[in-house]
Amino acid sequence: MAIIVQKYGGTSVGDPDRIRNVAQRVKAQHSQGHQVVVVVSARSGVTNALIERAKLLNPLPDDREMDMLLAVGEQETIALTAIALHGIGVPAVSRTGAQAGIITDDAHTRARILDVTGGDIRQQLDDGKVVIVAGFQGISRNGQVTTLGRGGSDLSAIALAWALKADTCQIYTDVPGVFTADPRVVPDARQIDVISYDEMLELASSGSKVMQARSVEFAQKYRVLFEVRSSFTDQPGTTVKNEAPNMEQILVRGVAVDNNQAKVTLNDLPDRPGVAATLFQALGEEGVVVDMIIQNIGRGGLANLSFTVAKEDVPRAEGTVREVLAKLGGGQLMPTGDIAKVSAVGVGMRTHAGVAATFFGALAQAGVNILMITTSEIKIAVAIEPAQAAVAARAVHAAFHLGQP
Ligand code: ADP
Ligand code: ASP
Ligand code: MG
């Protein structure tokens, strides 16, 4: 008898037929005597629809109220899933994030997990019940409903698998596993059987939304093995663990596209020590995560600086920049524009030369103009025009022969 944590994403619970499908899958495990905890997301589209509804009433809604609102999406699914299980004779009970003891800090809309008590889940499992837990949500120490950032149901599942010392953690989604690139963007992308935490984390933080980056970070830190697989088939998916086979031989494991980025530009900044420190300290205090940065000298010894942030952080980033510019007494905020980020990721890069040449060569041949560049030990990334993202991803994918076995 094993403890199994299964997470079903938005598409996998998107309509009554799909919820029935989930219930049948859960029943199959439960009837073999396993203890099953099911983490579910909101039905696909529900979280976005709730955000839009709030923004109709107020373009800058309060974060606490947003959490109160967004938690509704997952709460609908837990009840429906439990009801579906009852309908096929499986004892099941639903639990909110709070009832499952997902304790977080009070950073609304992006709360961090401080502890996972599990609430009465173990008791319910011992009583023979399937427990359905609302993903994405938690509760702060002072009793407020919080959410864990977009895609946060992945994190709920991995944190629960850790807390319950589960034998298996399965992330069920609408693709068969983790691919060498988003199969919806790069048609000849191939499924990866085993991938390392490092590579999965870098792909996720570079925009591969198949796993939430923070969930991979948590899994790596607490050594939670997990598998990404399809809720529509019984095929094995992708295992994510410490070591992947042939790690050093494989130069690039995958390509990621992030279409959710914007470039903030400041022109004619005073060119003196401390300006960047003041700016990025203020952004950090506002909780704005800055990704790429580029600075060059403009006319008359003044500097121009651009940085990229997630689109949803643009209002906060611009507000902070305006305050900093007023304090510095110089510089101007230029119009912010959308960009796309295309990244190649692989731990093999640590020990191989020539990756950058292949990467830039592919973009040049595809006629893609590069706006910004960043690299890390296992990643090379560029910011480009959003309209060229798919072309760029396919070119890089082909240049590293990722479509071939
Ligand atoms: P869920 O609702 O199940 O959490 P998501 O929509 O969050 O599902 O993530 C699954 C999607 O991630 C896929 O439909 C796919 O388009 C996208 N995706 C992006 N990069 C990859 C990749 N490298 N491998 C597989 N899927 C990817
Ligand atoms: N429903 C949330 C979202 O859309 C969490 C999740 O699906 O993982 O971001
Ligand atoms: Mg997701």
pLDDT tens digits, 193-212: 999 999 999 999 999 999 99
CA–centroid distance, 172 to ligand 3, in Å, is 10
What's the confidence (pLDDT) of residue 249? 76
Mean pLDDT computed over 100-123: 97
Share of the chain above pLDDT 70, in %: 99
Mean pLDDT computed over 72-85: 98
Task: Assess whether pLDDT exceeds 90 at residue 346.
Answer: yes
What's the confidence (pLDDT) of residue 241? 93
CA–centroid distance, 116 to ligand 3, in Å, is 21
Query: Could you tell me the pLDDT band of residue 324, with boundaries at 50, 70 and 90?
Result: very high
For tokens 């900093």, what's the residue? 324
Count CA atoms closer than 13 A to 154's CA, side-chain side. Answer: 24
What's the confidence (pLDDT) of residue 296? 87
Task: Assess whether pLDDT exceeds 80 at residue 244.
Answer: no
Query: Could you tell me the pLDDT band of residue 73, with boundaries at 50, 70 and 90?
Result: very high
> Are the C-beta atoms of 134 and 77 separated by less than 8 Å?
yes
Six-digit token pair at 45? 């589209």
Residue 12 CA: nearest ligand 1 atom is 3
Q: Whose CA is nearest to atom 5 of ligand 2?
A: 151
Q: Is 182 in the pocket of ligand 1 (CB under 6 A)?
A: yes
Ligand nearest to the CA of 9: 1
Mean pLDDT computed over 131-138: 98
Q: Is 156 in the pocket of ligand 1 (CB under 6 A)?
A: no
Indicate the top mutation candidate among 46, 153, 182 to test ligand 1's pocket, ranked by most ligand atoms within 8 A of CB.
182
Task: Assess whether pLDDT exceeds 70 at residue 248.
Answer: no
What's the confidence (pLDDT) of residue 203? 97
Q: Whose CA is nearest to atom 15 of ligand 1?
A: 182
Ligand nearest to the CA of 49: 2
What's the CATH number for 3-174? 3.40.1160.10
Six-digit token pair at 182? 């988003």
CA–centroid distance, 103 to ligand 1, in Å, is 27
Q: Is 174 in the pocket of ligand 1 (CB under 6 A)?
A: yes
Question: What is the rounded average pLDDT for all residues in the chain?
Answer: 96
Domain limits, the chain: 3-174, 264-333
What's the confidence (pLDDT) of residue 246? 72
- Which residues have a Cβ under 8 Å from the Cβ of 113 and sit 6 or more positions away? 102, 103, 104, 138, 148, 155, 159, 218
Task: Assess whether pLDDT exceeds 90 at residue 300.
Answer: no
Mean pLDDT computed over 181-196: 97
What's the confidence (pLDDT) of residue 353? 83
Instruction: Report CA torsion sign: 393, 11, 158, 292.
Output: positive
> Are the C-beta atoms of 378 and 349 separated by less than 8 Å?
yes
Q: Is the pTM of this model over 0.85?
A: yes
Task: Assess whether pLDDT exceeds 90 at residue 299.
Answer: no
What's the confidence (pLDDT) of residue 83? 98
Class of domain 264-333 as given by CATH:
alpha beta
| Lowest mean per-residue pLDDT among 35-49, 137-151, 161-175, 249-263 | 249-263
Q: Is 173 in the pocket of ligand 1 (CB under 6 A)?
A: yes
Task: Assess whether pLDDT exceeds 90 at residue 251.
Answer: no
Give 297: exposed, middle or buried? Use CB within 10 Å, 0-12, 13-18, 19+. exposed
Q: Is 179 in the pocket of ligand 1 (CB under 6 A)?
A: yes
Q: Is 392 in the pocket of ligand 1 (CB under 6 A)?
A: no
Q: Whose CA is nearest to atom 4 of ligand 2?
A: 47
Ligand nearest to the CA of 13: 1
Query: Could you tell me the pLDDT band of residue 352, with boundaries at 50, 70 and 90?
Result: confident
Ligand nearest to the CA of 66: 2
What's the confidence (pLDDT) of residue 199? 95
